[in-house]
Structure 1
Amino acid sequence: MSFDLPRNVILPVDDVDVRLDPNPHPFERNNEAAIAENWRREMAAKPALFDGTVVLLSALSYRDSRLVGRCHAVRYSTFMLWRKSPELSGAEHAYAHAVLVAGDNALVAIRMGSHTVNAGRVYFAAGSFEPVDFREGLVDVDFNMIREVGEETGIDLSAARRGQRYHALSTSSGTVIFRRYHVPEPAEEVARRISAFVATEAQPEIESPVIIRHAGDLPDGLMGHMKPLIEWHFANELA
């Protein structure tokens, strides 16, 4: 198992070659009892959790502006145990962010709902890669971004103007692959549309939209990986 990429620096990414290995992830295979016990505790705290399928990496490297990796489908309960001690697991997590840029150059993020694992935390609408995000075994990062934003906010980014390339930020808690998606409406209108969508949902994943207008505009509850992304956006208008 190999994880070979610079940490805590934003990397330009021209290609993402992360493939789904059909074999079980060793972390899940070797920790069945601990996964089950931890899941009982998680469900007792947040009964709305669902033990769906996500993916965990067993390898990821960065070479010549390419991310190359291998991942495995695991139960969400496996992911929940992994996140408590990732440094000892032989596994890592990668996820994608569509950086939603409004017509006035403000960013529109979301605050997660109270019933979710990340209750009250602020980041761009996103979710872990799932098997549906893979095409012939290869991850489709943009499909994941568009799917997750649509599911959580009701905003359809399929026709939005995309940034020229991906970028990535790898930290001890995971690797975020991100790309700008530009919509023409000003941030207040985008936020209004998201709020209207949330109001129609019986159990929405998010609590509310969050507008970020400049690099120092850091809301309460901001996830740790978000500050570098926000600073990068406002410092690199054409990246």
Structure 2
Amino acid sequence: MPLAIHRVTELDLKYRPWTWPFAVERREEIDAHFANRQAEKPKLWNGQVLLGRNPVFTGDRFSAEYFQADFASFLTWRDLGFPGESVFNGFGMGALRGSDGAFVLGEMAGHTANAGRIYFPSGTPDLDDLREGLVDIPGSVAREVEEETGLSAEDYRAAPHWECVVSGAAIAMIRILDVPMPGQALRAKIEANLATQQSPELAGIHVVRGPDDCTPAMPGFVTAFIEAATG
């Protein structure tokens, strides 16, 4: 599927309550699907997430409207191949980059909904990311980076821009986070933190220096970003 990358410096993501027809009309199918997935992975939790509508790129600005949905509906929608055209999954990612230009990515643990996938720290935004009617993607990224890797905002320098990679029903808002240590040292630092966690979200850490280090376990929007950032 063709990808598009938009560089922006402003995210204008407003919260607008909306009833998602998919979540209403296919409720029985959603509940059954989530029950099956939860039987496979008992740690899955049907909390609330934020999904987007009406994405618009204008100059250096990305605008969209977000609404609340339950995770079961989101997961079913995703597993069915994102049916419909009015909704997208818009999330932030922190592209950790070492002082030698190497990117560091995490491999999701087996108990997660994305087991085995390799990408940057990220997460579908939720109600904790709402700030005065806006979705706080920078805050979401900072939280996910710290939860997954142990790195706080003091450990890196965030780029002033976002690379928004549009891939079908997904829009990954990726921000480079420069860490003042080489990629392998950064990997070791994160692995040391994972060793202290009782149930870490990540099962492994990968150092990627360019497209040759990409694998099929990485989503297309991640490999597209890496190709653009290291080319």
| TM-score interval (norm. to shorter) | over 0.9
1:160 maps to what in 2? 156
TM-score, length of structure 1 as denominator length: 0.89
Once the 2 structures are TM-superposed, how far is the Cα of residue 99 of structure 1 from its aligned partner?
A: 0.9
Distance, in Å, in 2 between the alignment partners of 1:130 and 1:183 is 27
Instruction: Find out whether 1:33 has 2:28 as its counterpart.
Output: yes
Aligned-partner residue type, residue 85 of structure 1: G
- Indicate whether 1:96 and 2:107 are aligned: no
Distance 1:89 1:78 in 2: 15
What residue in structure 1 maps to residue 168 of structure 2?
Answer: 172
Q: Deviations over 1:118-162 (max 9, x none)?
A: 111110011111111121011222111110010011111355212
With over 3 angstroms needed to count, the CA separation of the structure-2 counterparts of 1:215 and 1:155, relative to structure 1, is same
Moved more, 171-180 or 30-39: 30-39
Unpaired runs of at least 5, structure 1: 1-6
Q: How many residues align?
A: 229
Q: Verify the 8 A CA contact 1:157 1:181 in the aligned structure 2.
A: no
Q: Does 1:118 align with 2:111?
A: no
In 2, the alpha carbon distance for the partners of 1:182 and 1:67 equals 23
- 2:63 match: secondary structure: strand
Q: Which residue of 2 aligns with 1:4?
A: none
1:147 equivalent in structure 2: 143
Percent of counterpart pairs with the same letter? 27
TM-score by length of 2: 0.92
Q: Counterpart in 2 of 1:50?
A: 45
Alpha-carbon separation, structure 1, partners of 2:131 and 2:21: 23
RMSD between superposed Cα atoms in Å = 1.7
Q: Which amino acid aligns with 1:165?
A: H
Contact 2:87 2:169 in 1 (8 A): no
Q: 1:223 to 1:68 in 2, by over 3 A?
A: same
Query: Is the 8 Å Cα contact of residues 82 and 89 (structure 1) preserved in structure 2?
Result: no
Question: Equivalents in 2 of 1:156, 1:30: separation in Å?
Answer: 42
Report Cα offsets for 1:36-55 as digits up to 9, x if no partner.
Answer: 11111111221121112211
In structure 1, distance between residues paired with 2:174 and 2:167: 14
- 1:114 is displaced (CA, Å) by 1.0
Q: Does 1:200 align with 2:203?
A: no
Distance 2:18 2:114 in 1: 29
Q: Would the aligned equivalents of 1:101 and 1:108 in 2 still touch at CA under 8 Å?
A: yes
Q: Is the 8 A contact 1:27 1:89 kept in 2?
A: no
Q: Distance in 2 between matches of 1:160 and 1:25?
A: 38
Shift of 1:87: 3.3
What one-letter code is carried by the residue in structure 2 that aligns with 1:50? W
Distance 1:152 1:82 in 2: 25
Unaligned stretches of 5+ residues in structure 2: none
Q: Which residue of 2 aligns with 1:213?
A: 209
Tell me the CA shift for residue 25 of structure 1: 3.0
User: For residue 10 of structure 2, what is the amino acid of its counterpart?
Assistant: D
**Runs of 4 or more consecutive aligned structure 1 residues displaced over 6 Å after TM superposition:** none
